[in-house]
Amino acid sequence: MTEVTAALKAIQSFHSDLTAIRRDLHAHPELGFEEVRTSGIVAGALEAMGVEVHRGYAKTGVVGVIRGRTNDSGRMIGLRADMDALPMTEDNSFGHKSTKSGLMHGCGHDGHTTILLGAARYLAQTRNFDGTAVLIFQPAEEGLGGAKAMLEDGLFDTFPCDAIYAMHNWPGLPPNTVGINPGPMMAAADRFEVVITGRGGHGAHPYQTIDPVLVAGHVITALQSVVSRNVNPLDSAVVSIGSLQAGHPGAMSVIPSEARLVGTVRTFRRSVQEMVETRMRGVVEGIAAAFGAQAKLNYERMYPATLNTPQHAQLVGDIATDMLGKQQVVRDLVPSMGSEDFSFMLQARPGAYFRVGQGGAEAGCTLHNTRYDFNDDIIPVGSAMFAALAEKGMPLADR
Ligand code: NI
Protein backbone atom coordinates (compact mmCIF):
# COMPACT_ATOMS: atom_id res chain seq x y z
CA MET A 1 0.00 0.00 0.00
CA THR A 2 1.38 3.44 -0.90
CA GLU A 3 1.24 6.33 1.55
CA VAL A 4 -1.51 7.87 -0.56
CA THR A 5 -3.76 4.82 -0.43
CA ALA A 6 -3.00 4.46 3.28
CA ALA A 7 -4.25 8.01 3.85
CA LEU A 8 -7.42 7.23 1.90
CA LYS A 9 -8.00 4.05 3.91
CA ALA A 10 -7.48 5.85 7.22
CA ILE A 11 -9.94 8.60 6.23
CA GLN A 12 -12.50 6.05 5.03
CA SER A 13 -12.58 4.66 8.58
CA PHE A 14 -14.32 7.83 9.79
CA HIS A 15 -16.37 8.48 6.64
CA SER A 16 -19.67 8.23 8.56
CA ASP A 17 -18.60 10.99 10.97
CA LEU A 18 -17.78 13.22 8.02
CA THR A 19 -21.07 12.45 6.30
CA ALA A 20 -22.92 13.49 9.46
CA ILE A 21 -21.04 16.81 9.52
CA ARG A 22 -21.73 17.40 5.83
CA ARG A 23 -25.45 16.81 6.20
CA ASP A 24 -25.66 19.03 9.25
CA LEU A 25 -23.95 21.84 7.33
CA HIS A 26 -26.30 21.25 4.40
CA ALA A 27 -29.31 21.61 6.67
CA HIS A 28 -28.00 24.91 8.05
CA PRO A 29 -26.75 27.01 5.12
CA GLU A 30 -25.38 30.51 5.66
CA LEU A 31 -24.60 33.32 3.21
CA GLY A 32 -21.15 34.78 2.61
CA PHE A 33 -19.59 36.60 5.61
CA GLU A 34 -22.49 35.29 7.72
CA GLU A 35 -21.09 31.78 8.28
CA VAL A 36 -21.29 32.17 12.07
CA ARG A 37 -22.66 28.73 12.89
CA THR A 38 -20.56 27.04 10.21
CA SER A 39 -17.29 28.65 11.28
CA GLY A 40 -18.11 27.82 14.91
CA ILE A 41 -18.53 24.15 13.99
CA VAL A 42 -15.27 24.22 12.01
CA ALA A 43 -13.31 25.89 14.82
CA GLY A 44 -14.81 23.54 17.41
CA ALA A 45 -13.97 20.46 15.35
CA LEU A 46 -10.39 21.65 14.77
CA GLU A 47 -9.90 22.38 18.46
CA ALA A 48 -11.21 18.93 19.35
CA MET A 49 -8.52 17.49 17.07
CA GLY A 50 -5.86 19.53 18.87
CA VAL A 51 -5.37 21.85 15.91
CA GLU A 52 -4.25 25.44 16.54
CA VAL A 53 -7.12 27.73 15.44
CA HIS A 54 -6.92 31.33 14.20
CA ARG A 55 -10.03 33.39 13.57
CA GLY A 56 -10.83 36.90 12.43
CA TYR A 57 -9.78 36.61 8.78
CA ALA A 58 -12.54 38.03 6.56
CA LYS A 59 -15.02 38.12 9.48
CA THR A 60 -16.02 34.45 9.55
CA GLY A 61 -12.88 32.82 8.14
CA VAL A 62 -11.10 30.13 10.15
CA VAL A 63 -7.47 29.03 9.80
CA GLY A 64 -6.17 25.78 11.31
CA VAL A 65 -2.45 25.16 11.69
CA ILE A 66 -1.01 21.63 11.88
CA ARG A 67 2.71 21.23 12.41
CA GLY A 68 4.44 18.21 10.95
CA ARG A 69 6.70 15.84 12.91
CA THR A 70 9.62 17.94 11.80
CA ASN A 71 10.08 21.37 10.29
CA ASP A 72 13.61 21.21 8.87
CA SER A 73 12.52 22.55 5.51
CA GLY A 74 10.38 25.39 6.87
CA ARG A 75 7.85 24.59 4.14
CA MET A 76 4.23 25.67 4.44
CA ILE A 77 1.32 24.41 2.34
CA GLY A 78 -2.14 26.00 2.31
CA LEU A 79 -5.30 23.95 1.72
CA ARG A 80 -8.45 25.94 1.17
CA ALA A 81 -12.18 25.19 1.40
CA ASP A 82 -15.12 27.57 0.95
CA MET A 83 -18.02 27.58 3.44
CA ASP A 84 -20.85 29.73 2.06
CA ALA A 85 -24.29 28.86 0.65
CA LEU A 86 -26.49 30.53 -1.98
CA PRO A 87 -29.67 32.63 -1.82
CA MET A 88 -31.89 30.01 -3.49
CA THR A 89 -34.71 27.75 -2.33
CA GLU A 90 -34.03 24.03 -2.15
CA ASP A 91 -36.42 21.65 -3.92
CA ASN A 92 -35.19 18.45 -2.27
CA SER A 93 -37.20 16.55 0.33
CA PHE A 94 -34.56 14.39 2.08
CA GLY A 95 -33.87 14.60 5.81
CA HIS A 96 -30.94 17.00 5.60
CA LYS A 97 -32.75 19.49 3.34
CA SER A 98 -32.12 23.16 4.12
CA THR A 99 -33.98 24.34 7.21
CA LYS A 100 -33.85 27.93 5.96
CA SER A 101 -36.19 29.01 3.20
CA GLY A 102 -34.43 30.93 0.44
CA LEU A 103 -31.02 29.60 1.46
CA MET A 104 -29.31 26.50 0.17
CA HIS A 105 -25.94 24.79 -0.19
CA GLY A 106 -26.42 24.62 -3.96
CA CYS A 107 -22.73 24.47 -4.85
CA GLY A 108 -21.45 21.84 -2.43
CA HIS A 109 -19.39 24.12 -0.22
CA ASP A 110 -20.82 22.09 2.69
CA GLY A 111 -18.92 19.18 1.14
CA HIS A 112 -15.71 21.17 0.65
CA THR A 113 -15.73 22.31 4.29
CA THR A 114 -16.28 18.71 5.43
CA ILE A 115 -13.53 17.42 3.15
CA LEU A 116 -11.00 19.82 4.63
CA LEU A 117 -12.09 18.82 8.16
CA GLY A 118 -11.49 15.19 7.14
CA ALA A 119 -7.99 16.05 5.96
CA ALA A 120 -7.39 17.97 9.20
CA ARG A 121 -8.41 14.99 11.34
CA TYR A 122 -6.05 12.67 9.47
CA LEU A 123 -3.13 15.14 9.36
CA ALA A 124 -3.51 16.05 13.05
CA GLN A 125 -3.40 12.33 13.97
CA THR A 126 -0.47 11.38 11.75
CA ARG A 127 1.62 14.54 11.14
CA ASN A 128 3.67 12.59 8.58
CA PHE A 129 5.24 15.64 6.99
CA ASP A 130 8.08 18.09 7.40
CA GLY A 131 6.67 21.59 7.58
CA THR A 132 3.34 23.28 8.35
CA ALA A 133 -0.11 22.59 6.91
CA VAL A 134 -2.38 25.64 6.90
CA LEU A 135 -6.08 24.81 6.58
CA ILE A 136 -7.96 27.79 5.21
CA PHE A 137 -11.74 27.80 5.72
CA GLN A 138 -12.84 30.71 3.61
CA PRO A 139 -16.13 32.61 3.73
CA ALA A 140 -18.04 34.19 0.89
CA GLU A 141 -16.81 32.52 -2.29
CA GLU A 142 -20.09 33.17 -4.11
CA GLY A 143 -19.65 36.62 -5.60
CA LEU A 144 -18.43 38.41 -2.48
CA GLY A 145 -14.69 37.79 -2.79
CA GLY A 146 -14.03 36.16 0.57
CA ALA A 147 -10.62 34.95 -0.65
CA LYS A 148 -9.59 38.52 -1.41
CA ALA A 149 -10.87 39.65 1.98
CA MET A 150 -8.72 37.01 3.72
CA LEU A 151 -5.67 38.24 1.80
CA GLU A 152 -6.45 41.82 2.80
CA ASP A 153 -6.59 40.65 6.41
CA GLY A 154 -3.02 39.41 6.05
CA LEU A 155 -3.59 35.67 5.52
CA PHE A 156 -0.32 35.10 3.64
CA ASP A 157 1.62 37.58 5.78
CA THR A 158 0.89 35.49 8.87
CA PHE A 159 1.01 32.18 6.99
CA PRO A 160 3.48 32.58 4.11
CA CYS A 161 2.49 29.44 2.19
CA ASP A 162 4.89 28.12 -0.48
CA ALA A 163 2.02 26.46 -2.31
CA ILE A 164 -1.77 26.46 -2.07
CA TYR A 165 -4.45 24.04 -3.21
CA ALA A 166 -8.24 24.03 -3.46
CA MET A 167 -10.81 21.67 -4.91
CA HIS A 168 -14.38 21.86 -6.19
CA ASN A 169 -16.84 19.05 -6.68
CA TRP A 170 -17.87 18.59 -10.31
CA PRO A 171 -21.16 16.95 -11.36
CA GLY A 172 -19.90 16.60 -14.95
CA LEU A 173 -17.21 14.07 -13.95
CA PRO A 174 -17.95 10.56 -12.62
CA PRO A 175 -17.73 10.19 -8.82
CA ASN A 176 -14.20 10.01 -7.43
CA THR A 177 -12.57 11.09 -10.67
CA VAL A 178 -10.02 13.90 -10.37
CA GLY A 179 -9.83 16.56 -13.08
CA ILE A 180 -7.08 19.12 -13.52
CA ASN A 181 -4.97 20.85 -16.14
CA PRO A 182 -1.64 22.69 -15.97
CA GLY A 183 -2.99 26.14 -16.89
CA PRO A 184 -6.30 28.04 -16.82
CA MET A 185 -9.05 26.23 -14.90
CA MET A 186 -11.62 29.01 -14.72
CA ALA A 187 -12.13 32.35 -16.42
CA ALA A 188 -11.78 35.92 -15.24
CA ALA A 189 -15.23 37.36 -14.54
CA ASP A 190 -15.79 41.05 -15.24
CA ARG A 191 -18.98 43.09 -14.86
CA PHE A 192 -19.92 45.89 -17.17
CA GLU A 193 -22.65 48.48 -17.36
CA VAL A 194 -23.47 50.65 -20.36
CA VAL A 195 -25.39 53.85 -19.70
CA ILE A 196 -26.85 55.37 -22.86
CA THR A 197 -28.16 58.90 -22.57
CA GLY A 198 -30.43 60.36 -25.24
CA ARG A 199 -33.31 62.83 -25.10
CA GLY A 200 -36.73 61.63 -24.00
CA GLY A 201 -40.02 62.69 -25.48
CA HIS A 202 -43.34 61.60 -26.98
CA GLY A 203 -43.40 58.26 -28.77
CA ALA A 204 -45.56 59.85 -31.48
CA HIS A 205 -42.86 62.44 -32.16
CA PRO A 206 -39.58 60.50 -32.21
CA TYR A 207 -37.96 63.13 -34.47
CA GLN A 208 -37.96 65.43 -31.44
CA THR A 209 -36.03 62.87 -29.38
CA ILE A 210 -32.76 60.96 -29.32
CA ASP A 211 -34.02 57.45 -28.67
CA PRO A 212 -31.69 55.54 -26.29
CA VAL A 213 -33.66 52.31 -26.80
CA LEU A 214 -32.77 52.26 -30.50
CA VAL A 215 -29.14 52.98 -29.61
CA ALA A 216 -29.21 50.14 -27.07
CA GLY A 217 -30.43 47.76 -29.77
CA HIS A 218 -27.52 48.63 -32.03
CA VAL A 219 -25.03 48.47 -29.16
CA ILE A 220 -26.26 44.98 -28.16
CA THR A 221 -25.87 43.70 -31.72
CA ALA A 222 -22.49 45.33 -32.29
CA LEU A 223 -21.03 44.10 -28.98
CA GLN A 224 -21.40 40.55 -30.30
CA SER A 225 -18.83 41.42 -32.96
CA VAL A 226 -16.09 41.79 -30.33
CA VAL A 227 -15.83 38.04 -29.71
CA SER A 228 -16.55 37.00 -33.29
CA ARG A 229 -14.39 39.61 -35.08
CA ASN A 230 -11.77 40.88 -32.64
CA VAL A 231 -10.83 37.93 -30.43
CA ASN A 232 -8.41 35.50 -32.02
CA PRO A 233 -10.43 32.32 -32.67
CA LEU A 234 -7.76 30.33 -30.83
CA ASP A 235 -8.39 32.38 -27.68
CA SER A 236 -11.58 32.24 -25.60
CA ALA A 237 -13.92 35.02 -24.55
CA VAL A 238 -17.59 35.55 -23.73
CA VAL A 239 -19.58 38.80 -23.79
CA SER A 240 -23.08 38.33 -22.36
CA ILE A 241 -25.69 40.97 -21.65
CA GLY A 242 -27.93 39.89 -18.80
CA SER A 243 -30.03 43.01 -18.35
CA LEU A 244 -31.54 45.74 -20.52
CA GLN A 245 -33.50 48.41 -18.73
CA ALA A 246 -35.22 51.44 -20.28
CA GLY A 247 -38.52 53.22 -19.90
CA HIS A 248 -41.60 51.88 -18.16
CA PRO A 249 -43.75 48.94 -19.33
CA GLY A 250 -46.87 51.03 -18.69
CA ALA A 251 -45.70 53.95 -20.81
CA MET A 252 -46.07 52.88 -24.42
CA SER A 253 -45.74 56.38 -25.81
CA VAL A 254 -42.88 57.67 -23.72
CA ILE A 255 -39.40 57.55 -25.19
CA PRO A 256 -37.11 57.46 -22.16
CA SER A 257 -33.99 59.55 -21.83
CA GLU A 258 -31.79 56.69 -20.69
CA ALA A 259 -31.14 53.00 -21.31
CA ARG A 260 -28.88 50.70 -19.29
CA LEU A 261 -27.28 47.40 -20.14
CA VAL A 262 -25.57 45.14 -17.60
CA GLY A 263 -23.52 42.11 -18.50
CA THR A 264 -20.43 40.02 -17.99
CA VAL A 265 -17.18 39.36 -19.85
CA ARG A 266 -15.25 36.10 -19.37
CA THR A 267 -11.66 35.61 -20.52
CA PHE A 268 -8.58 33.57 -19.59
CA ARG A 269 -5.76 35.79 -20.78
CA ARG A 270 -5.00 39.30 -19.54
CA SER A 271 -4.25 40.55 -23.06
CA VAL A 272 -7.62 39.30 -24.32
CA GLN A 273 -9.39 40.85 -21.33
CA GLU A 274 -7.77 44.23 -22.02
CA MET A 275 -8.51 44.08 -25.73
CA VAL A 276 -12.19 43.18 -25.12
CA GLU A 277 -12.61 46.13 -22.75
CA THR A 278 -10.96 48.52 -25.23
CA ARG A 279 -13.07 47.29 -28.15
CA MET A 280 -16.28 47.43 -26.11
CA ARG A 281 -15.57 51.04 -25.19
CA GLY A 282 -14.99 51.91 -28.84
CA VAL A 283 -18.18 50.19 -29.97
CA VAL A 284 -20.34 51.67 -27.23
CA GLU A 285 -19.12 55.26 -27.60
CA GLY A 286 -18.92 55.14 -31.40
CA ILE A 287 -22.41 53.77 -31.91
CA ALA A 288 -23.95 56.22 -29.47
CA ALA A 289 -22.19 59.10 -31.24
CA ALA A 290 -23.49 57.90 -34.60
CA PHE A 291 -27.05 58.35 -33.29
CA GLY A 292 -26.35 61.65 -31.57
CA ALA A 293 -26.54 60.04 -28.12
CA GLN A 294 -23.90 59.60 -25.45
CA ALA A 295 -22.84 56.36 -23.85
CA LYS A 296 -20.52 55.42 -21.07
CA LEU A 297 -19.03 52.01 -20.38
CA ASN A 298 -18.34 51.20 -16.73
CA TYR A 299 -16.11 48.16 -16.70
CA GLU A 300 -15.24 46.39 -13.46
CA ARG A 301 -12.77 43.55 -13.08
CA MET A 302 -14.32 41.27 -10.47
CA TYR A 303 -12.48 37.92 -10.34
CA PRO A 304 -9.19 37.13 -12.11
CA ALA A 305 -8.72 33.90 -14.06
CA THR A 306 -7.92 30.80 -11.99
CA LEU A 307 -4.50 29.77 -13.26
CA ASN A 308 -2.71 26.65 -12.09
CA THR A 309 1.07 26.46 -12.03
CA PRO A 310 2.19 23.39 -14.04
CA GLN A 311 4.42 21.94 -11.29
CA HIS A 312 1.64 21.98 -8.69
CA ALA A 313 -0.97 20.67 -11.13
CA GLN A 314 1.45 17.84 -11.88
CA LEU A 315 1.64 16.91 -8.17
CA VAL A 316 -2.18 16.83 -7.97
CA GLY A 317 -2.33 14.59 -11.05
CA ASP A 318 0.39 12.27 -9.74
CA ILE A 319 -1.25 11.88 -6.32
CA ALA A 320 -4.66 11.27 -7.89
CA THR A 321 -3.18 8.66 -10.22
CA ASP A 322 -1.48 6.91 -7.30
CA MET A 323 -4.74 6.93 -5.31
CA LEU A 324 -7.32 6.17 -7.99
CA GLY A 325 -5.54 4.77 -11.03
CA LYS A 326 -4.85 6.47 -14.33
CA GLN A 327 -8.34 5.84 -15.73
CA GLN A 328 -9.91 8.01 -13.01
CA VAL A 329 -7.70 11.03 -13.58
CA VAL A 330 -8.26 13.67 -16.27
CA ARG A 331 -5.07 15.70 -16.62
CA ASP A 332 -6.22 17.88 -19.51
CA LEU A 333 -9.59 18.97 -18.13
CA VAL A 334 -11.29 21.57 -20.32
CA PRO A 335 -11.45 24.90 -18.46
CA SER A 336 -14.77 26.42 -17.43
CA MET A 337 -15.93 29.94 -18.34
CA GLY A 338 -17.25 30.21 -14.78
CA SER A 339 -15.10 31.89 -12.15
CA GLU A 340 -13.74 31.17 -8.71
CA ASP A 341 -12.29 33.51 -6.12
CA PHE A 342 -9.45 31.10 -5.23
CA SER A 343 -7.96 32.94 -8.22
CA PHE A 344 -7.03 35.81 -5.87
CA MET A 345 -5.00 33.40 -3.75
CA LEU A 346 -3.39 31.90 -6.86
CA GLN A 347 -2.34 35.41 -7.90
CA ALA A 348 -0.45 35.67 -4.61
CA ARG A 349 0.96 32.13 -4.31
CA PRO A 350 1.66 29.27 -6.73
CA GLY A 351 -0.60 26.25 -6.54
CA ALA A 352 -3.43 24.37 -8.17
CA TYR A 353 -7.20 24.12 -8.21
CA PHE A 354 -8.67 20.74 -9.08
CA ARG A 355 -12.03 19.09 -9.40
CA VAL A 356 -13.32 15.92 -7.80
CA GLY A 357 -16.08 14.35 -9.87
CA GLN A 358 -19.35 13.78 -8.06
CA GLY A 359 -21.58 12.66 -10.94
CA GLY A 360 -25.25 13.48 -11.27
CA ALA A 361 -25.09 16.08 -14.06
CA GLU A 362 -27.04 13.77 -16.37
CA ALA A 363 -29.84 13.64 -13.78
CA GLY A 364 -29.89 17.44 -13.45
CA CYS A 365 -27.89 17.57 -10.21
CA THR A 366 -25.80 20.45 -11.53
CA LEU A 367 -24.19 23.20 -9.47
CA HIS A 368 -26.64 25.95 -8.43
CA ASN A 369 -29.64 23.75 -9.32
CA THR A 370 -32.47 23.72 -6.73
CA ARG A 371 -32.22 19.89 -6.54
CA TYR A 372 -28.45 19.81 -6.16
CA ASP A 373 -26.93 17.85 -3.27
CA PHE A 374 -23.27 17.17 -2.56
CA ASN A 375 -22.35 13.49 -3.04
CA ASP A 376 -21.12 12.15 0.32
CA ASP A 377 -19.41 9.22 -1.44
CA ILE A 378 -16.59 11.50 -2.59
CA ILE A 379 -15.67 12.93 0.84
CA PRO A 380 -12.81 10.46 1.60
CA VAL A 381 -11.13 10.96 -1.78
CA GLY A 382 -11.36 14.74 -1.42
CA SER A 383 -9.92 14.60 2.11
CA ALA A 384 -7.19 12.16 1.07
CA MET A 385 -6.20 14.39 -1.85
CA PHE A 386 -5.68 17.33 0.53
CA ALA A 387 -3.87 15.14 3.08
CA ALA A 388 -1.57 13.66 0.43
CA LEU A 389 -0.78 17.12 -0.96
CA ALA A 390 0.53 18.05 2.49
CA GLU A 391 2.46 14.78 2.88
CA LYS A 392 3.88 14.68 -0.65
CA GLY A 393 4.46 18.41 -0.85
CA MET A 394 6.40 18.39 2.46
CA PRO A 395 7.92 14.89 2.65
CA LEU A 396 9.70 13.74 5.80
CA ALA A 397 13.46 13.51 5.36
CA ASP A 398 13.72 9.77 5.87
CA ARG A 399 11.22 8.87 3.17
NI1 NI B 1 -18.85 26.66 -5.74
CA of 68 to the centre of ligand 1 (A): 30
Residues 162, 55 share a domain: yes
Residue 352 lies in a domain: yes
CA of 286 to the centre of ligand 1 (A): 38
- CA distance linking residue 215 with residue 71, whole number of Å: 64
Whether residue 398 has pLDDT greater than 80 = no
- CA distance linking residue 72 with residue 88, whole number of Å: 48
Residue 274 lies in a domain: yes
pLDDT at 143: 86
Residue 359 C-beta-side C-alpha neighbours within 13 Å: 9
**Residue 284 belongs to domain with CATH number:** 3.30.70.360
CA of 105 to the centre of ligand 1 (A): 9
Residues 312, 280 share a domain: no
CA of 65 to the centre of ligand 1 (A): 24
| Confidence band of 113 (pLDDT split at 50, 70, 90) | very high
CA of 383 to the centre of ligand 1 (A): 17
Percent of the chain residues topping a pLDDT of 70: 99
CA of 175 to the centre of ligand 1 (A): 17
CA of 348 to the centre of ligand 1 (A): 21
Widest distance between CA atoms in the chain:
86
What is the per-residue pLDDT across 249-262, written as a single tens digit (0 to 9) for each?
999 999 999 999 99
Residues 84, 29 share a domain: yes
Residue 329 lies in a domain: yes
How many beta carbons lie within 10 A of that of residue 37, not counting itself?
Answer: 14
pLDDT at 362: 86
- CA distance linking residue 150 with residue 59, whole number of Å: 9
Residue 359 lies in a domain: yes
CB contact at 8 A, 181 and 313: yes
CA of 135 to the centre of ligand 1 (A): 18
Q: In the predicted model, what is the mean pLDDT of the chain?
A: 96
Residues 313, 180 share a domain: yes
What is the per-residue pLDDT across 263-311, written as a single tens digit (0 to 9) for each?
999 999 999 999 999 999 999 999 999 999 999 999 999 999 999 999 9
CA of 73 to the centre of ligand 1 (A): 34
Whether residue 25 has pLDDT greater than 60 = yes
Among candidate residues 259, 279, 303, the one where a domain is terminated: 303
Residues 203, 266 share a domain: yes
Residue 399 lies in a domain: no
**Residue 315 belongs to domain with CATH number:** 3.40.630.10
- CA distance linking residue 226 with residue 210, whole number of Å: 25
- CA distance linking residue 387 with residue 9, whole number of Å: 12
CA of 167 to the centre of ligand 1 (A): 9
CA of 205 to the centre of ligand 1 (A): 51
Whether residue 1 has pLDDT greater than 90 = no
Arithmetic mean of pLDDT, 209-227: 98
Whether residue 399 has pLDDT greater than 70 = no
The number of domains in the chain is 2
| Confidence band of 161 (pLDDT split at 50, 70, 90) | very high
CA of 90 to the centre of ligand 1 (A): 16
Residues 354, 286 share a domain: no
Whether residue 365 has pLDDT greater than 90 = no
Give the domain range for residue 60. 3-186+305-393
Residues 374, 316 share a domain: yes
pLDDT at 27: 98
CA of 122 to the centre of ligand 1 (A): 24
Residues 252, 372 share a domain: no
How many beta carbons lie within 10 A of that of residue 47, not counting itself?
Answer: 12
DSSP string for residues in 82-112:
E---BS------STT--SSTT-B--SSHHHH
Among candidate residues 303, 337, 366, the one where a domain is terminated: 303
CA of 112 to the centre of ligand 1 (A): 9
Residue 376 lies in a domain: yes
CA of 341 to the centre of ligand 1 (A): 9
CA of 358 to the centre of ligand 1 (A): 13
Among candidate residues 276, 303, 330, the one where a domain is terminated: 303
CA of 368 to the centre of ligand 1 (A): 8
CA of 218 to the centre of ligand 1 (A): 35
CB contact at 8 A, 299 and 340: no
What is the per-residue pLDDT across 59-105, written as a single tens digit (0 to 9) for each?
999 999 999 999 999 999 999 999 999 999 999 999 999 999 999 99
Q: Are strands 351-357 and 163-170 parallel, antiparallel or unpaired?
A: parallel
CA of 59 to the centre of ligand 1 (A): 19
Whether residue 3 has pLDDT greater than 90 = no
Closest CA to 180 of 82, 361, 315: 315
Residues 160, 29 share a domain: yes
CA of 166 to the centre of ligand 1 (A): 11
CA of 83 to the centre of ligand 1 (A): 9
pTM: 0.91
CA of 234 to the centre of ligand 1 (A): 28
Residues 254, 176 share a domain: no
Residue 291 lies in a domain: yes
CA of 297 to the centre of ligand 1 (A): 29
- CA distance linking residue 292 with residue 227, whole number of Å: 26
CB burial of residue 93 (10 Å; 0-12, 13-18, 19+): exposed
| Confidence band of 2 (pLDDT split at 50, 70, 90) | confident
Residues 221, 87 share a domain: no
CA of 173 to the centre of ligand 1 (A): 15
Cα angle for residues 321, 327, 331 (degrees, 5° grid): 60
pLDDT at 361: 86
CB burial of residue 196 (10 Å; 0-12, 13-18, 19+): buried
CA of 108 to the centre of ligand 1 (A): 6
Residues 246, 200 share a domain: yes
| Confidence band of 132 (pLDDT split at 50, 70, 90) | very high
Q: What is the DSSP letter of 367?
A: T
AA letter at 4: V
CA 153 to chain centre: 19
- CA distance linking residue 45 with residue 154, whole number of Å: 24
CA of 114 to the centre of ligand 1 (A): 14
CA of 2 to the centre of ligand 1 (A): 31
Residue 398 lies in a domain: no
